Structure 1
């Protein structure tokens, strides 16, 4: 029997379903991590942002979608639990940054590290060109999602 090819629209739909399934899996994993670390979803989002480097409270407020007062409470809570600390900005001593503590970094790596390390093998056999295409698609999808998040706020 001859192979019948799918339409482009069917391929896009299949990719969308797979992406939605992946997104649900990531959300369920993040929820399990938050429960294990005994933090809330906004706390976990802030810890994720801080894993890339220090941020101001204002940047964390935008990232978590919180008002400034709620962000201060969140930072206080994470600080009391040993995840983060406030430090002066090296560029402007009047500014304060929030950064992960070594303990916070260790606790986060204990949960996400095995996934990151094992995840490297998912890309075995994938070419640089394919990775660049994937990155471009993800960047475009992120920009679109950010635009629609702003619309529904």
Structure 2
């Protein structure tokens, strides 16, 4: 591998690390503004994609079932989420964002999303698709190594 390529990979890695730190700092600031903790924020993030079961939220947040129940209770009391029956299986209960919860979360993230579109001005469709594919590969790599760490616990 050429020195120039190694340097470029190192620069990209450093840029990704700076980005990850910036995102984490932003999420922490949003959590403080909303009065919720990091696990609560992860839960709200997962729920922004749609309703989930408590079991799915336990996996997503890395919490034990009892702690997940307490987290859901906390977010319910604060008006962020509600429990609803599953439309597909009456025995299941789903957790979903309330309109109030969605509005609170969007008040923090909406301006970032709205302004963020401009970051892609001048970037072609092919570049965007290549970038998406690269991010998918990076996600798969991270997921494999997370599973390795979790298996060694």
TM-score w.r.t. structure 1 length? 0.95
Distance 1:78 1:151 in 2: 31
1:68 to 62, 65, 68: 65
Could you tell me the TM-score, scaled by structure 2's length? Answer: 0.95
Unpaired runs of 5+ residues, structure 1, are none
Partner of 1:57: 54
Corresponding residue number in structure 2 for 1:81: 78
- SS of the counterpart of 2:94? strand
1:26 and 2:15 aligned:
no
Counterpart pick for 2:33 among 36, 40, 43: 36
Are 1:145 and 2:142 counterparts? yes
Looking at structure 2, the residues matched to 61 and 108 of structure 1 have their Cα atoms a distance apart, in angstroms, of 20
Unaligned runs of 5+ in 2: none
* Root-mean-square deviation over aligned CA pairs: 1.1
Task: Please point out which of 91, 101, 106 is paired with 1:104.
Answer: 101
What SS class does the counterpart of residue 85 from structure 1 fall into? Answer: strand
Structure 1 segments (4+ residues) deviating >4 Å: none
Task: Provide the C-alpha distance between the structure 1 equivalents of 2:143 and 2:78, rounded to a whole number of angstroms.
Answer: 31
